[in-house]
Chain A
Amino acid sequence: MSVLDDLVAGAIEDQRAREAKTPLETLQRQVADSARQPLDARRWLRKADSIPVIAEIKRASPSKGHLSDIPDPAALARQYERGGASAISVLTEGRRFLGSLDDLDAVRAAVDIPVLRKDFIVTDYQIWEARAHGADLILLIVAALDDDRLRHLLDLTRQLGMTALVETHTREEIARAVAAGADVIGINARNLKDLRVDVNKYAELADDMPADVIRVAESGVFGAVEVEDYGRAGADAVLVGEGVATADDHELAVNRLVKAGKRVKASESTPLSEHEGPYFGQFGGRYVPEALITALDELERVYNEAKADPEFHKEFARLNKQYVGRESPLTEAPRFAEKIAEKTGIHPRVFLKREDLNHTGAHKINNALGQALLVKRMGKTRVIAETGAGQHGVATATVCAMLGLKCRIYMGQIDARRQALNVARMRMLGAEVVEVTLGDRILKDAINEALRDWVTNVKDTHYLLGTVAGPHPFPSMVRDFQKIIGEEAKRQLQDWYGIDHPDAICACVGGGSNAIGIMNAFLDDDRVNLYGYEAGGNGPESGRHAIRFAPGTGELGMFQGAKSYLLENAEGQTLDTYSISAGLDYASVGPEHAWLKEIGRVNYGWATDEEAMNAFRDLSQSEGIIPAIESSHAVAGAYKAAADLKAKGYTEPVMIINISGRGDKDMATAGKWFGYLTDDQAKALEVTGAHGNAVA
């Protein structure tokens, strides 16, 4: 005899004892006399903006033994309700679960949300009994019933105005439940070998259910982690017992689950282009010291106010036009397109989005300007920023000079040496430049030091982060300031060239701000293939690169405020990165990119130093446009994207490459790489420290 058979037999025996005292007719009379109509539980169990939680009153179970005394089930139910539960499940089985109909009565009287009678229900009597005791929902276990019996009990449940939660374990049981007309199906996805809940198994089981069936994840929900997993796997609602029944603070425990469900739903119900943090799928968040939360909250609040204020947009647009020089052109590149044709055999039309023509020579000014206007709004007087190669530092120093803000730029000592001219440029603009001598003395160390400054001086200081990484609200906010790139490109393609939409977009990805900027306007247009290229350095096998997305490179982790992909060693310590382009040389990547990779919307690849430098020369010599080495990774990527488009059947695709910055700053590196300089000239550059690379 199985455990289930045993439980069912016991339940029937107990029922007979009750029936002897209260015959079925008496129950039926009670039901007829009762004024109360059951609640339509289906309306509680599927919500557009949340994953309803069915919280269970559970004292014990055969698998776990005693869990909790629960002397006052009504009080517990009220705590669940206050925590945001959508329904209360009451175990009425007395032998192994130590429940009773008294519990059901007490809970019914205490709450206004649907109440589930959970028992081993196999007879009509038990269903009448549930109704007489005020249940809105009952549990039917497919494994305990044959098809006819299941159908009959389902029909009776409906006749009495109640809803049945039909529990299943296998694909076959689900098919039986659906055939019998079940419209709320619980899936128990526990692997019976190790009791582990297998979300993949759940997703597989839930996969081909009719759309109008409400799916309840029934087992192994302990906390927020499982709710998120089930939510992503398609569960409409979850049932949780022990995780809330044995918690110290029941209300808080339920509330954590409700919040987790809302997070998942918020992320699923929004168009891709309109996602707001803190989470992009499972990525993002605020992994920062508590000391920064007040400042981040303030920034979020002020930014939301600004977003809703037409005056802010007017001022931003005015400065974009009159100061930055927007819009930046969309330039057709027919001679470069020819080069792609030679290499791939297809004949694309190629357009370049010219962020290199912005004031300060890169897209970085878009974000620096937007945030600096927020600094004014917040009434702060001091700005700090990090910079790798100097492009973001220069943009920040520039807007601070324009708006009269005190400015300090943190730069790793190695970067500061490589980019001595940019250091001078920032100082010329009135900024203080601090060379960071800690750690590896590169970009990430500059960010660490900027964060330490911010923690200390947060009252009057704003941290003007340069990319779509870091804690919320930076990834969404920086994206918003950069998305003008794609919006312009889309319009220009239509107005200037009469082309409705591009077939492909190529961008380089360091932290990812220029890539998000050009891609955002196209995220919800499936006709547009999106390609992001990371810095391949000497290639993924060399260990000297900044590729976070390729297999065997980045792993999930938290870095500098966000959960994303991260280059780390076996201990979780951050790895050194390498790229010829300092602007792409970063161990992690913006959380929105991690999410776009996970959902398969953007194809991420990489370009090695060599590929990028060849593309740098190709574009310079075919079009007379010198891209930054960072942007050259996007140009190199265009060859790869074209090959992919060819494989997809395109013959004359329209491609846009984002030229995120100009390459003047990279002349020393290029001169050396291609041997354009005599030894004496190279040495002279070496001495002045004008050596460099830089932007993303």
Chain B
Amino acid sequence: MTNETTTPSGQPLGISHRPSPTEAMFDRFRAENKPAFIGYLPYGFPDPDVSLDALRTMVEHGVDAVEIGLPYSDPVMDGPVIQAASQIALNNGESINGVFRAVETVANAGGVPLIMSYWNLIYHYGVERFARDFENAGGAGLITPDLIPDEAGEWIEASDRHGLDRIFLVSPDSSDDRLEIVAKNARGFVYAASRMGVTGERDTISASPERLVERTRKAGAKNVCVGIGVSTPEQGAKVGAYADGVIVGSALVHTLLADDDKTPKDRAEGLRDLAAKAEALADGIHRAR
């Protein structure tokens, strides 16, 4: 037997003790007493090339970590805006192979690259293969909206081997037992859904996320970020007062959609609107405390 560090199959590799880039980011922000701004955009929307520009634009205009979405044909946790964007991306030839370029783009621009994906896409690509390619591209962690820790055995192992963060979700009606299971298995941060339901912009944010963040921390989570429904700088400031990070999705995606909410906006105009929206949100969020 030779002194292998990687094998073609990846088995049985050791646990990587690469420090979590996401946690490093939160430590930095904690020292400054600021919440982090996490922005979501589907890769390949409106098309693969423009999406790279858009991701770069986000980082250049105040987004600290980017949640790069992988478009999926059956996104059960997403509302109309992200559904429409995903459909446009799929129609325009989005492929999972290209997402690692997006990861590199975000990393090169100075942002922390996260991927958000429904589980079947990762499973189909190959969990170990995905972890390897994601790590090689400079990726930090994966957000899994339809994978609970109980089903995540293969991912927990692959992410351990490659030093990647595992971001699971919790929701306002999660029991304390569930919060503990999630906190125990998560790495990087826990994603707290601000309300019961799917992604999408809302005029008001209820009080429940603050309570959920508190309960999740009590269950053992070090970093808790709040997403779903946060769409304005005011809401970002409100949530950022108590959360370690604020996640904005639909509101950013929206800036690239035309008025019909079904087709992409002109590229230059879209990127301009995206930059403005990101800046406004970053301003609100970073000054939350």
**Which of A489-497, A558-566, A594-602, A688-696 interfaces with chain B?**
A558-566
Q: Is the Cβ of B123 less than 8 Å from the Cβ of A247?
A: no
User: Counting CB contacts under 8 A, is B29 at the interface?
Assistant: no
In the bound assembly, the distance between CA atoms of A286 and B119 in angstroms comes to 12
Q: Which bucket holds chain B's interface residue count?
A: 35 or more
**A residues 207-236 touching B (CB-CB < 8 Å):** 219-226, 228
Q: Is the Cβ of A439 less than 8 Å from the Cβ of B73?
A: yes
User: Counting CB contacts under 8 A, is A687 at the interface?
Assistant: no
Contact (A63, B4) CB under 8 Å given A290-B148, A559-B120: yes
**Which of B49-57, B102-110, B154-162 interfaces with chain A?**
B154-162
Q: Nearest CB to that of A221 among chain B residues? A: B12
**Which of A450-458, A501-509, A630-638, A655-663 interfaces with chain B?**
A450-458
User: Counting CB contacts under 8 A, is A175 at the interface?
Assistant: no
Chain B neighbourhood of A451, CB < 8 A: 76
Q: Is the Cβ of A222 less than 8 Å from the Cβ of B8?
A: no
Main SS of chain A's interface residues?
mixed
Q: Is the Cβ of A223 less than 8 Å from the Cβ of B153?
A: yes
Report the count of interface residues on A (CB-CB < 8 A): 63
User: Counting CB contacts under 8 A, is B206 at the interface?
Assistant: no
User: Counting CB contacts under 8 A, is A274 at the interface?
Assistant: no
User: Counting CB contacts under 8 A, is A293 at the interface?
Assistant: yes
Q: Nearest CB to that of A576 among chain B residues? A: B73
User: Counting CB contacts under 8 A, is B196 at the interface?
Assistant: yes
Contact (A195, B15) CB under 8 Å given A64-B3, A573-B72: no
User: Counting CB contacts under 8 A, is B150 at the interface?
Assistant: yes
**B residues 92-144 touching A (CB-CB < 8 Å):** 95-96, 119-121, 123-125
Chain B neighbourhood of A242, CB < 8 A: 12, 14-15
Q: Is the Cβ of A290 less than 8 Å from the Cβ of B4?
A: no
Q: Is the Cβ of B184 less than 8 Å from the Cβ of A249?
A: yes
Q: Is the Cβ of B196 less than 8 Å from the Cβ of A291?
A: yes
User: Counting CB contacts under 8 A, is B169 at the interface?
Assistant: yes
Q: Nearest CB to that of A450 among chain B residues? A: B76
Q: Is the Cβ of A573 less than 8 Å from the Cβ of B73?
A: yes
Partner of A192 from B1, B75, B147 at Cβ < 8 Å: B1
Partner of A289 from B76, B121, B124 at Cβ < 8 Å: B76
**B residues 1-22 touching A (CB-CB < 8 Å):** 1-4, 7-9, 11-15, 17
Chain A neighbourhood of B90, CB < 8 A: 573
Number of A-B contacts (CB under 8 A): 170
Q: Is the Cβ of B11 less than 8 Å from the Cβ of A196?
A: yes
A231 to chain B: closest CB distance in Å? 13
User: Counting CB contacts under 8 A, is A555 at the interface?
Assistant: yes
**B residues 54-87 touching A (CB-CB < 8 Å):** 72-77, 79-80, 83, 87
B120 to chain A: closest CB distance in Å? 5
User: Counting CB contacts under 8 A, is B47 at the interface?
Assistant: no
Q: Is the Cβ of A571 less than 8 Å from the Cβ of B74?
A: no
Partner of A568 from B124, B153, B154, B178 at Cβ < 8 Å: B124
Chain B neighbourhood of A226, CB < 8 A: 11-12
In the bound assembly, the distance between CA atoms of A228 and B157 in angstroms comes to 14
Chain B neighbourhood of A290, CB < 8 A: 148, 168-171, 174, 178, 182
Q: Is the Cβ of A195 less than 8 Å from the Cβ of B4?
A: yes
In the bound assembly, the distance between CA atoms of A67 and B3 in angstroms comes to 12
Q: Is the Cβ of B160 less than 8 Å from the Cβ of A247?
A: yes
Contact (A287, B151) CB under 8 Å given A293-B174, A571-B95: yes
In the bound assembly, the distance between CA atoms of A289 and B8 in angstroms comes to 32
Q: Is the Cβ of B169 less than 8 Å from the Cβ of A291?
A: yes
Contact (A197, B11) CB under 8 Å given A3-B1, A291-B173: yes
Chain A neighbourhood of B146, CB < 8 A: 287-289, 558
Q: Nearest CB to that of A438 among chain B residues? A: B83
User: Counting CB contacts under 8 A, is B193 at the interface?
Assistant: yes
Q: Is the Cβ of A225 less than 8 Å from the Cβ of B154?
A: yes
Contact (A286, B1) CB under 8 Å given A459-B173, A560-B76: no
Chain B neighbourhood of A195, CB < 8 A: 1, 4, 7, 11-12
Contact (A223, B184) CB under 8 Å given A64-B14, A286-B148, A289-B146: no
- Which B residues form the contact surface with A (CB < 8 A)? 1-4, 7-9, 11-15, 17, 72-77, 79-80, 83, 87, 90, 95-96, 119-121, 123-125, 145-148, 150-151, 153-154, 156-157, 160-161, 168-171, 173-175, 178, 182, 184-185, 193, 196-198
Would you list 17 pairs from A and B whose C-beta atoms are within 8 A, ordered by A residue?
A: A63-B1, A64-B3, A195-B7, A222-B161, A242-B12, A286-B150, A289-B146, A293-B174, A439-B74, A452-B77, A455-B77, A455-B196, A455-B198, A459-B196, A558-B123, A568-B124, A571-B96
- Which A residues form the contact surface with B (CB < 8 A)? 3, 62-65, 67, 192, 194-197, 219-226, 228, 242-243, 246-249, 252, 256, 260, 285-291, 293-294, 297, 438-439, 444-445, 448, 451-452, 455-459, 555-560, 566, 568, 571-574
